Structure 1
């Protein structure tokens, strides 16, 4: 019997929920452990995640402790998706899959995060920074839109961890743009991206995790 994986999480952060989607999709038992920001920055958490951020997983089935959401997702797929239901294990698809996970980690996550910070959190309003990172959100979506022309998913003919890794940051776009959301019309400007995102959002597991996140936010985790 598979023992539950511990998922260190935070209600507001999109990256732990990205991992939760993969755990749910693969039917891997897990126990979320919510930390506040102060707890992340001190012992004992720093012993398992020197970066002081979430997510981190502790897997009692293998003895592995791992941080960085992209690495965690690839680990979960390689360790538990033995039938390739949500991933690819042969060339060239496994490399294309990794390519898009790296793109998500290096482009979507950092740029969307900076857009969030300067538009909604930073104590000073810096229009040039906000404009820059809003433009980067649009650029990332334009890249995905081009790739998805004539395709339903990023790799092969099925939804995979490559696709699902983008979901939770995209959820934040309306909040990030706030009063300026009128300048961002994904359905009109990025129709391939928009249709793909709608397919991902319609998945029962994604809907469950979105609900779980809303409940966590409500309870103050």
Structure 2
């Protein structure tokens, strides 16, 4: 059994996508980041960067004590290795998936996150920042669109953790100022993943989480998300 410390954000969705695809038993442990629960000592023991998601695997492959993993990319890699799924075993295939996983955690996620922040949450509109991050978002969508030319998924014809990492960050493409029609390969990929039964189950989980706050209007949420 896996405990998933979760909140319905793009990084949280990455892990439910994997768990639903793999059929692993897991329990949701909500971490209300708007209320500052990511700073509680018990959570910091498993996620010292005070970010979710994090997992605790109570039945690790080595048969030892429960193991905790933080950082969404590391969690995806851990789960893929645990199950032997969604990460190729051959050197070249694995290397390709890891390249694109790191592309997401190092570029796509942070840049789209800044786009979202300066467009929706920043206390003042800063045209330079908005323009910078919208332009970078557009560039990254272009990189993804070009990569998907002639491929069903990022690493080829198989669905992998690279896709699970990237997809949740593109769900809010309209809020990011992106038009899928400008990126036809991306559009096909996005719709292909959205239609997967496991994707629909994963996103349905978000609707069951109580206490979601609107950081654009809730001052407590703003302090906990941006001010600590």
Q: Do the structures match in fold with TM over 0.5? A: yes
1:34 aligned residue (15, 30, 36): 30
- Deviation of 1:214 after TM superposition, in Å, equals 3.0
Q: Which runs of 5+ in 1 are unaligned?
A: none
2:194 aligned residue (177, 194, 201): 201
TM-score when scaled to structure 1?
A: 0.88
Which SS does the other structure have where 2:69 is aligned? strand
Matched, 1:50 2:44: no
Find the aligned partners of 2:10 and 2:155 in 1 and give their Cα distance. Answer: 23
Matched, 1:77 2:94: no
Find the aligned partners of 2:130 and 2:156 in 1 and give their Cα distance. Answer: 36
1:220 counterpart residue number = 211
2:6 counterpart residue number = 9
- Deviation of 1:87 after TM superposition, in Å, equals 2.3
- Deviation of 1:71 after TM superposition, in Å, equals 0.5
Higher helix residue share: 1
Aligned Cα root-mean-square deviation (Å): 1.3
Find the aligned partners of 2:145 and 2:171 in 1 and give their Cα distance. Answer: 17
- The equivalences for 1:88-167 within 5 A come to 88-167=88-167
Q: Is the 8 A contact 2:145 2:186 kept in 1?
A: yes
Q: How many pairs were matched up? A: 205
Q: Is the 8 A contact 2:32 2:211 kept in 1?
A: no
1:68 aligned residue (66, 71, 74): 71
Matched, 1:186 2:180: yes
Which SS does the other structure have where 1:97 is aligned? helix
Find the aligned partners of 2:93 and 2:75 in 1 and give their Cα distance. Answer: 19
Find the aligned partners of 1:31 and 1:17 in 2 and give their Cα distance. Answer: 14
